Structure 1
Amino acid sequence: MAVLTAPHPAAGASAGPRMLVERNLMIYRHTWALLVAEVFEPVLYLVSIGIGIGQLVGRVPGLGGPSGADVPYSAFVAPALLATAAMNGAMNETTFNMFSKLRTNHTYDSILATPMTVRDVAFGEVLWALLRGTLVTTGFLAVVTAFGLAHSPWILLVVPGAALVGFAFAAAGLAVVTYLRSWQDFQFIQLAMLPMFLFATTFYPLGVYPRWIQVVVECLPLYQSIELIRQPALGEIGPGLLLPVVYLLLMGLIGLRVALPRMQRVLLH
Structure 2
Amino acid sequence: MSEAQTETTRAGGAQAETTSRSVLDISDLQAWYGPSRALQDIALTVRAGELVTMLGRNGAGKTTTLRAVVGMVPRRAGSIIINGTETIALPSHRIARTAIAFCPEDRGIYASLTAEENLVLPPVVAAGGMSVEEILTLFPGLRNRMKSPGTKLSGGEQQMLAIGRILRTGARLLLLDEPTEGLAPVVVQQIGAAIAGLKSRGYTILMVEQNVRFASTVADRHYVIDRGHVAETFDNATLLADFDRISARLSA
Fold conserved between structures, TM > 0.5:
no
TM-score (norm 1): 0.21
Larger proportion of strand: 2
Larger proportion of helix: 1
TM-score (norm 2): 0.22
